[in-house]
A and B are shown apart, each in its own frame.
Chain A
């Protein structure tokens, strides 16, 4: 037990510049997709209302009134607010094109901190846009830490860098319209990003929150801990008064996902007690099984943003070390013990719940025949177990 725990704790945290975790999506993929959807919906809402003089886009209200995301909007004067609203309306078609086209802009994840040169100094940022390559690089860890409206803010800001306003690329530096000073561009971009971020509260019917998708557990997580309960049944009823053909099973599992490949370990306890010999003798058997092995994940459905898209099969092949104890009791206890090695194959189907919890069901076929000395209990046949469990991924 301790061995495999150590094994997992010492696994290296692999650095990755880009992620691909099978069909179930990679880290941040769902958040990025939802963010793009919300940006698209926000700009559709802007485009729909661009001619409505009553509507003021670059202002903060409602849910986000006192949030920091509103800071860039609160500081706007009337001219800036008006300019900001016009800029949003003007850029809406281009932003929608960028968001909806699969190759108009590429996104790249990084686990490295992103630093940019800014007026002779370098500072850390959460994302950076390469206008020439039409590529946005995002710090994955930071992106996952952000709240959803912050992601919309960040990504809108970065995507606006890929657009032009009045024939000029939208940059952070320099004066733009009524936005004066060296950082006028940044103030405008921040105001536009903030506007897109807060619009969800203004138009909740048009801009979805996608909360269920964001809360849904995602399969790209690397470390998985689980527990399950079920039954283990011998494929053929064993002979012998003290032998059991059915056990209650409880199991602890852990696995480490490397893409679709899995390193797995587990401990399961198969237990049975019964009365024999006219009810005079109590038989208790505990089978402790320690497993390590390999597995492979199969995603039968494509879209990682959907419930079924996150669901997946895990096929595992394990080496089992079996330590079994048998106790016979009538006025006194007689204890017998045996050890053996074996193997098992398991097929589990994982269904995403929320907050990184998963439900799963599985079957396992185990081959570890064993017998006890000095008592007629000989398990020659194999075991088929079935179980239901929950798992937590992180």
Chain B
């Protein structure tokens, strides 16, 4: 009896430990695009750094846009449904902002003019494939509906529609993204990969596919990512395999790679990558695609729970932000850890020669660029910092930016 109580107690502790806001690799599977956050990315959809970032601050229910050159707030936008969580996307070229919240999406153009609810969701948008350079936005909500929007360079919605997750033939959407060729690629529940004719979907309101479904031979694909610079390739992953798909030829390139251990981290920035740990060997194994092939590197002396990662093969940089000093393979699986003792480490990716190891503020949301980090502190008054990682200078800070907006 006592042993049952202990087991139940241990199980409940583990469950509660996995219920926090910290990284849980299971949160990033079965999505279209990338999980939506309340802070936009510091790179455009081509992977280049940008100098503007937008954040949603729930204290004032506004979206602030920072210019990282001087840390000034370029503008601050009131949202339609204040008081609840919002997520944001931003496009520098068009200087427009997209705001997501429960049942709701709004576009704010460069002048801050809103376009509320070009499509209406029943659920909460949880992820999006956003290719502003291609004028495409595909949104996936908590009830599995898919919103498809065509957006011009200024952020005006040209066409919009919403479809369900069932593509017929006992197939539902398992994961998806927009590839570098501008096509929506979906992994379906039967292990096949399909290409979606977005124009046709928008005009007819039903799923319209182009080409023949690609039989991957994989079961239970839960992750699909574009391969940067390869308009006809995507990478897919199951819980234990990873493969590169040629969407033009309709084939799996080579043989799917069997992952060494369990997935502890997935990321689509900038070049998609996966980290695994097998609990037997030291460190973690990094999987990525290069030259149409799934490659991997074993990182033996890694430590700390991963909170952010960034692989930029064109810049030859691999960046991790970690919290704590425990080993990756265990720490990254324990959710809800306090983001303490945070470190940013950067390697030259080609030979894993370490370039940088610096402390980063605890208790902040971070956005990574190649050589800088933007940190939004958990502070009701508003507190943001921008680290130039290689200057050695203290971070440029902006304090109290919320104050003028607190009623």
Contact of B404 with A281 in the complex, beta carbons under 8 Å: no
Q: In the complex the two chains form, is B380's CB within 8 Å of A375's CB?
A: no
B403 contacts A by Cβ under 8 Å: yes
Collect the chain B residues with CB atoms within 8 Å of residue A374's CB. Answer: 403-404
Determine the interface band of chain A, counting residues with CB < 8 A from chain B.
10 to 19
> Is A277's CB under 8 angstroms from B407's CB?
no
Option from B377, B380, B407 in Cβ contact (under 8 Å) with A281: B380
Check: A280 CB closer than 8 A to any chain B CB.
yes
Return the contact of A239 from the options B59, B381, B399, B407 (Cβ within 8 A).
Answer: B407
Chain A 332-353 residues near chain B, CB threshold 8 A: 332, 334
**Known contacts A330-B379, A332-B383: A240-B407 contact under CB 8 Å:** yes
In the bound complex, residues from chain B placing their C-beta under 8 Å from that of A278 are: 380
CB–CB A241/B377 < 8 A: no
Q: Are B404 and A331 in contact (CB under 8 A)?
A: no
A376 lies within 8 A of chain B by Cβ: yes
Q: Which residues in B have their C-beta under 8 angstroms from that of A281?
A: 380-381
Does B280 make an interface contact (CB < 8 A)?
A: no
Residues of B within 8 A of A334 (CB): 381, 399-400, 403
The answer, yes or no, to whether A242 is at the interface (CB within 8 Å) is yes
A375 to B406, CA, bound (A): 8
A328 part of interface (Cβ distance < 8 Å): yes
Interface centre among A240, A277, A374 (most CB of B within 10 A): A277
B404 contacts A376, C-beta separation under 8 Å: yes
**In the complex, chain B residues whose CB is within 8 Å of the CB of A280:** 379-380
Kindly identify, within residues 364 to 407 of chain B, every residue whose CB is under 8 Å from any CB belonging to chain A.
Answer: 377, 379-381, 383, 399-400, 403-404, 406-407
Q: Which of B377, B406, B407 has the most CB of A within 10 A?
A: B406
B72 → A minimal CB distance (Å): 14
Given that A330-B381, A331-B379 are contacting pairs, would A375 and B399 also be in contact in the complex, using a CB cutoff of 8 Å?
A: no
- Closest-CB distance, A198 to chain B (whole angstroms): 77
Q: Are B400 and A331 in contact (CB under 8 A)?
A: no
Query: A277 touching B400 by the CB < 8 A rule?
Result: no
B61–chain A nearest beta-carbon distance, Å: 13
A277 touches B403 (CB 8 A): no
Asked whether, in the complex, the Cβ of B380 is within 8 Å of the Cβ of A330, the reply is yes
Q: Mark A366-394, 1 if CB is under 8 A from B, else 0.
A: 00000000111000000000000000000
Residues of B within 8 Å of A330, CB to CB, are: 379-381
A277 engages B404 (CB within 8 Å): no
Across the interface, which residues of B come within 8 angstroms of A241, CB to CB? 406-407
CB of A331 within 8 A of CB of B407, answer no
CA distance A316 to B407 in the complex (A): 37
Q: B407 contacts which of A328, A332, A376 (Cβ < 8 Å)?
A: A376
| Cα of A334 to Cα of B380 in the assembled complex, Å | 12
B403–A331 CB distance below 8 A: no
What is the distance, in angstroms, from A78's C-beta to the closest C-beta of chain B? 95
1/0 per residue A153-183: CB within 8 Å of B? 0000000000000000000000000000000
| Cα A184 to Cα B406 with chains together (Å) | 92
Complex interface: chain B residues within 8 A of A375 (CB): 403-404, 406
> Least Cβ distance of A338 to chain B in Å?
15
B363 smallest CB distance to A (angstroms)? 9
Which residue of the partner chain, among B380, B383, B399, contacts A277 with CB atoms under 8 Å? B380
* Distance of B381 from chain A, by nearest CB (Å): 5
Q: Give the nearest-CB partner of B406 in chain A.
A: A241
The 5 A-B pairs at the shortest CB distance, nearest first, are namely: A277-B380, A334-B400, A280-B380, A281-B380, A375-B403
Given contacts A328-B381, A331-B379, A376-B407, 18 further A-B contacts (CB under 8 A): A241-B406, A277-B380, A277-B406, A278-B380, A280-B379, A280-B380, A281-B381, A330-B379, A330-B380, A331-B383, A332-B383, A334-B399, A334-B400, A334-B403, A374-B403, A374-B404, A375-B406, A376-B404
User: B-side interface residues toward A, CB under 8 Å?
Assistant: 59, 377, 379-381, 383, 399-400, 403-404, 406-407
Can you list 26 A-B pairs, Cβ within 8 angstroms, ordered by A? A239-B407, A241-B406, A241-B407, A242-B406, A277-B59, A277-B380, A280-B379, A280-B380, A281-B380, A281-B381, A328-B403, A330-B379, A330-B380, A330-B381, A331-B377, A331-B383, A332-B383, A332-B399, A334-B399, A334-B400, A334-B403, A374-B403, A374-B404, A375-B403, A375-B404, A375-B406
